[in-house]
Amino acid sequence: RKEVEQDPGPFNVPEGATVAFNCTYSNSASQSFFWYRQDCRKEPKLLMSVYSSGNEDGRFTAQLNRASQYISLLIRDSKLSDSATYLCVVIGSNDYKLSFGAGTTVTVRA
């Protein structure tokens, strides 16, 4: 079983729409959770950390469900510039290394 699993998509949505997707992780001892964004042929960039209480950053909302071991990302009022691959990233306990999901591709169309 993979450490981090994501729906690869693609999610094709019109501008202004809301899109949401999840990722699941296998290690119940995982301590830290993040969403990274990766544009085509570019490096991953940190989008936001995910906290137990849930958190928002502008149009982006991240949720963590420890009991079910999943993380979600919701994008409101999608912009063309939101088109990218979103990588779910988990760090285990006593660990620094990032475990990546394979990514969820989002395409926002005009």
Partner 1 sequence: EAGVTQFPSHSVIEKGQTVTLRCDPISGHDNLYWYRRVMGKEIKFLLHFVKESKQDESGMPNNRFLAERTGGTYSTLKVQPAELEDSGVYFCASSQGPGREFFGPGTRLTVL
| Shortest distance, position 67 Cβ to partner 1, whole Å | 22
The piece of 18-26, 53-61, 75-83, 91-99 that touches partner 1 (CB under 8 A) is: 91-99
Please list, in sequence order, all residues whose beta carbon lies within 8 angstroms of the beta carbon of residue 68, skipping any fewer than 6 positions away.
24
> Chain-centre distance of CA 61, in angstroms?
10
| Shortest distance, position 49 Cβ to partner 1, whole Å | 7
Amino acid residing at 58:
G
**Contacting residue, 29, 40, 67, 97, with partner 1 by CB under 8 A:** 97
Rule CB under 8 A: is residue 66 a binding residue for partner 1?
A: no
**CA–CA separation, 44 and 85 (whole Å):** 9
Beta-sheet strands, E only, within 39-103: 44-50, 55-57, 60-65, 70-75, 84-91, 98-100
Rule CB under 8 A: is residue 103 a binding residue for partner 1?
A: yes
Binding residues for partner 1, rule: CB under 8 A, are: 2, 4, 32, 34, 42-46, 49, 87, 89, 91, 95-103
